[in-house]
Amino acid sequence: MPARDNTTPVEMDPGSYKTFDAHYYNLVRKRRGLFQSDAALLTDSATNAYVQLQATTDGITFMEDFAESHGENGSNRRAHRLYW
């Protein structure tokens, strides 16, 4: 008899899981994040300010910030390939 799948999928961004947007910050601001790391964003003044900005401005800088950070990470990966 095959093993039963007892896993339960959980949306990490309920209400917006099919859309790439800043809705996540609204949940964090309302203390409805799923992970301890979500709650930790509110304990640091800099990250708390960023959460508040994104939650109250409908993610005014989210896409630009994401693109910038993704570009930085991508360039780091390219550089690391030289050493691996």
Spatial distance between the Cα atoms of 73 and 34, rounded to a whole number of angstroms: 25
Query: Could you tell me if 27 and 14 are in contact, meaning their C-beta atoms sit under 8 angstroms apart?
Result: yes
The total of structural domains in the chain comes to 1
- 17 inside domain: no
Establish whether 5 is an annotated binding residue.
no
- 35 inside domain: yes
Establish whether 65 is an annotated binding residue.
no
Is the pTM for the entire model greater than 0.85?
no
Segment 12-40, tens digit of pLDDT: 888 888 898 999 999 999 999 999 999 99
**Which uninterrupted H or E stretch holds 45?**
helix 45-56
- 2 inside domain: no
pLDDT over 80 at 75, yes or no: no
- 71 inside domain: yes
Domain span holding position 35: 23-81
Instruction: Look up tokens 């993704």; give the residue.
Output: 70
- 18 inside domain: no
